[in-house]
Chain A
Amino acid sequence: MNKAVFLKELALYLNKMKKEDKDRFITYYDEMLSDYIENGMSEEDAVNKIGDPKRVAEELLESHDSVKIEIPSTGSKFLNIILLILGFPLWGSLLLSGIIMIISIYVLLWCLPFITGIGCFGFFLTSIIGVIGSPFIMFKSIPFGIIQLGTSIISVGSSILLGIATVKISKIFININKKFNIKLVSLFKKKVVIR
């Protein structure tokens, strides 16, 4: 690598820096290389003595104190506000339909645990009444009473199962909810880049 190429590459790796600082660095290394060459070293050797431009740039960036805070900007504020107001019919309705879609998906999702929850409760109620009623039914007809007792006990079991299912499904949905919320919020947070 010759001097010109080295300096060009170095400049490339340093382009994150402020212009004044970058120029000072390049001047420094230009001068250094020139001195080495003037004192008998070959261009190749001089460049090798200094090292790999990428590594040099990394070291410089590390020990360098300049902090450039970039907030990605999207044009003048005033213009943006005007455009926002003018475009309201478009983005407003899109936003609204987006919100409604999200709400309906929520409702749909939560229907499931709602159903299992109601089922759990209903079975439980039925089983209580069934168990209480079965001895009375037995006065009417014993087999019938026994049948009722049997179904009641099955109901108890079903109720427990549905209860467990409801709890489990609810947990899963709450998790999904959380993840979605985090993603949504991160979309709106502006990214500030500090160099």
Chain B
Amino acid sequence: MDIQLKKGLLEFCVLAVLKKSDSYGYQIIKDISTCIEISESTLYPILKRLETGTYLETYSLEHNSRLRKYYKITEKGKDYMNEFLEEWKQVMNIYYFIKGEQNYE
């Protein structure tokens, strides 16, 4: 898949995971990996970007005598996600159009 496209989509995958519940790095990777491949090095800049855009916030909790950073989606993040889903409804239509068209060959 085109790398820029993948990076864009992964952003929303992260938000989707966080929408279900707050999460942390390791868990996010584990969840997303069920759908699409993602590496730790790819995740970091995505998290950073989302944080800069205030689509998510962070806080730290103690876990087994070390600090673990948690990520939580914000309202702005939820809106952002919905925008994406709306836009891509269009993409889905076009997808079926193209697919359908081929059947009528």
Tell me the A residues contacting B by CB distance below 8 Å: 25, 27-29, 31-32, 34-36, 38-39, 49-51, 56, 59-60, 63-64
Contact = CB atoms under 8 A, between A and B. Distances in A.
5 contacts: A28-B25, A32-B40, A34-B66, A50-B39, A60-B44
Which range holds the interface residue count of chain B? 10 to 19
* Closest A-B pairs by Cβ, 3 of them: A35-B26, A63-B45, A59-B41
A36 B40 CA distance: 11
Contacts of B27: 35
A163 to B, nearest CB: 64
Nearest to B30: A39
A34 B27 CA distance: 12
Nearest to B52: A65
B45 A32 contact: no
Contacts of A36: 26
Given A60-B41, A60-B44, A63-B45, A32 B26 contact: yes
A31 B66 CA distance: 9
Contact of A51 (B41, B68, B69): B41
A39 B44 contact: no
B69 A50 contact: no
Contacts of B24: 31, 35
A39 B27 CA distance: 11
Given A28-B25, A35-B24, A50 B41 contact: yes
B40 A50 contact: yes
A25 B67 CA distance: 15
A25 B44 contact: yes
Given A27-B69, A29-B40, A50-B40, A35 B45 contact: no
B64 interface: yes
Nearest to B69: A31
A56 B67 CA distance: 23
Contact of A31 (B39, B41, B45, B68): B68
Nearest to B26: A35
Nearest to A27: B69
Interface in B48-70: 64, 66-69
Given A35-B25, A38-B64, A39-B26, 19 more contacts: A25-B44, A28-B40, A28-B44, A28-B69, A31-B25, A31-B66, A31-B67, A31-B68, A31-B69, A32-B25, A32-B26, A34-B66, A35-B68, A50-B40, A50-B41, A56-B41, A60-B41, A63-B45, A64-B45
Contacts of B45: 60, 63-64
Contacts of B26: 31-32, 35-36, 39
